[in-house]
Amino acid sequence: MRITTRGRYALRASLALAILGKSGAPVSINNLSEKEEISSVFLEQIFFKLRKAGIVASVRGPGGGFCFAKPLESLTVKEILDAAGEDLNLIACDKQAQNCEHIGSCLAHSVWTDVTHIVNNYFKSKTLSSLLEREPARDFFELAEDENDGITGA
């Protein structure tokens, strides 16, 4: 398992969308790109995948952008990583089982299987709302509110 830049950015952008779009108003790719310092072209690709998976919805026209298609309390990190195309499987031999001489008798296989289940269950247990409750997220949220109100922090 290796979480790629696409997966890391999908989670970062999703959290930023949750913070910036808390009022329910759509958030533009350009706004997310600027806030997270991620290429808008790359974010468009990521949000295409998130939209296809039913995680976000797009709103066209002036004032358009993206918003979540489901409640943050039910949206898990695993769903976001899956939608971004991340493979959360530590067991490389499962993909190449036909080439493995030890398949069926490998004692190490169960270790990798167990760790894969632990990692997947961890990501399933973390919702966007639970991540937003953390202290640094609240600080970011307050900064975003200040910027939206036109107030600059001192």
Let me know if residue 71 belongs to a domain.
yes
In a domain? residue 131: yes
**Is the model's pLDDT at 141 over the cut of 70?**
no
pLDDT bucket at 100, cuts 50 / 70 / 90: low
Residue 51 lies inside a defined structural domain of this protein: yes
In-domain check, residue 153: no
Quick: pLDDT tens for 110-131: 788 888 899 999 999 999 999 9
pLDDT at 30: 93
Question: What is the domain-level CATH number for residue 34?
Answer: 1.10.10.10
> Which domain range does residue 89 map to?
5-148
Give the span between the Cα atoms of 8 and 99, in whole angstroms. Answer: 31
Per residue, the 3-state secondary structure of the chain, as one string, reads: CCCCHHHHHHHHHHHHHHHHCCCCCCECHHHHHHHHCCCHHHHHHHHHHHHHCCCEEEECCCCCEEEECCCCCCCEHHHHHHHCCCCCCCCHHHHCHHHCCCCCCCHHHHHHHHHHHHHHHHHHHCEHHHHHCCHHHHHHHHHHHHHHCCCCCC
What is the C-alpha separation between 12 and 70, in angstroms, rounded? 17
Is 125 contained in some domain? yes
Total structural domains within the chain: 1
Q: How do residues 15-61 score in pLDDT, each as one tens digit?
A: 999 998 887 889 999 999 999 999 999 999 999 999 999 999 999 98
The pLDDT > 70 percentage for the chain reads 78
